[in-house]
Amino acid sequence: MAAIRNLARFMERAKFLNKCYFASQNGILRSFSTNGAIVGLSRETQALVKFGLISAATGVAVGAGYAYYRISETRKNIALEGTELDTVLLEHKPPVTPSRKIAYPVDTTGLKLTLFQYQTCPFCCKVRAFLDYYGISYDVVEVDPVLRKEIGWSLYKKVPILLTQVEGGYRPLNDSSLIVSLLASYLYDRSQKIEEFADYYPTKNVSGGSGQMTYFTLSPNVYRTLDESYKTFNWFSEVGKWEEYFPTWERLLIVNVGATAMWLIGKRLKKRHRLKNDVRQSLYDEANYWLRGIKARGTIFMGGNKPDLSDLAIYGILKSIEGCDAFQDLKTHTNIGVWYNAMKEQVDAHSGSTNLSR
Ligand SMILES: N[C@@H](CCC(=O)N[C@@H](CS)C(=O)NCC(=O)O)C(=O)O
């Protein structure tokens, strides 16, 4: 309880600092502060305010440092692509209430799925693009990206995790590419149960190369500056309905700590993946490369007149930044909008469901 109270106090401070940050951008802060003294306040109050500010700054620095460390540690896991993943059979469903249920009347698969996700995680968007395109119903559990307590039951500490109801329990499927490939195989041949496919599937942590590349280009773009990073996180909060799903202190923790930590990580990714100095250019280059591929085929989609798995993957990944400045810039500086809108139509209409054998 005390820890929660402290955290709430810390968040109030962080929020205050956050406001100060924007205030100073507008030059408002300068108007009441001269030579480090705060005009109109007694010496004691000034000392208190200064103490408060220093404590708040320390709180944010420690929080951001911790988040940076934790997130960096997980990012290291990305380098573990190809290593074995645990696939276990859970006897009982983890006791987590779904945030929402997505039910499609066109669904004939009989699958019972729960997606543990962040609404704007590119890999989760990739899985959702697949499920939505084929009109497969699923429950969603929105995971807190900082505390991740909703996936506390899992040894695998990333999202997406797709929990499938199978004979005798529940089987978690980890990794977006594995999930999509496995579901695609199941849709192609429904004479076998989903768990049989899960047994055959190499329990390797596999990721689509292009998806991963785009991912590393996205982060430095959407977290390019601290201001942009805050805007991005506020959009995440809006579309992820964090206000609805998480208590205020938790949402503020995610936004403040997440925005700061991801801004720092974005810088590191830019260096590590040798992106152009103007990171937007690297994003445009990747989009143009993708569009050239489609143009060479002379079709609407990479898959022809209907999207294939690569269309769905790139669409999902880009959807994860739809509300960010980077996406608006991408639409202005490349022709991606035409393909993207065509994809949106297909996915929103669940066009893939018509191709499924019943
Ligand atoms: N190869 C995995 C990558 C998944 C991944 O890195 N997910 C990120 C979210 S975008 C994650 O969960 N990171 C751990 C964290 O947020 O702490 C996949 O394709 O599903």
Which domains are assigned to the chain?
100-200 (3.40.30.10), 215-355 (1.20.1050.10)
Let me know: does 225 contact 263? Beta carbons within 8 Å: yes
**Structure confidence at residue 215 (pLDDT):** 75
Higher-pLDDT residue of 11 and 329 is 329
Whether the CB of 266 sits within 6 Å of ligand 1: no
Residue nearest to atom 10 of ligand 1 (CA): 121
Average confidence (pLDDT) over 11-27:
33
**Structure confidence at residue 45 (pLDDT):** 61
246 catalytically annotated:
no
* Ligand 1 centroid, distance to 270 Cα (angstroms): 18
Q: Which of 22-36, 194-208, 231-245: highest mean pLDDT?
A: 231-245
Residues 6+ apart with CB under 8 A from 280: 221, 326, 329, 330, 333
Q: How far apart are CA 144 and CA 146, in angstroms?
A: 6
Q: What is the pTM of this model?
A: 0.77
User: Own/partner pairs for 13-18, CB < 8 Å, 24+ apart?
Assistant: 13/52, 13/55, 13/56, 13/59, 13/60, 14/56, 14/59, 14/60, 14/63, 14/252, 14/253, 14/256, 14/257, 15/252, 15/256, 16/56, 17/53, 17/56, 17/57, 17/60, 18/230, 18/256
* Ligand 1 centroid, distance to 31 Cα (angstroms): 44
Secondary-structure percent of the chain, ordered helix, strand, coil, rounded to 5: 60, 10, 30
Q: Given a cut of 50, is residue 91 above it in pLDDT?
A: yes
124 catalytically annotated:
yes
Tokens standing for 340? 């993207």
Ligand 1 pocket, mutate which of 123, 222, 236, 253 (most atoms under 8 A from CB): 123
Average confidence (pLDDT) over 261-272:
95
Tokens standing for 284? 């445009």
216 catalytically annotated:
no
121 catalytically annotated:
yes
**Structure confidence at residue 39 (pLDDT):** 44
Residues 6+ apart with CB under 8 A from 57: 17
- The Cβ of residue 80 has, within 10 Å, a number of other Cβ atoms equal to 10
Whether the CB of 71 sits within 6 Å of ligand 1: yes
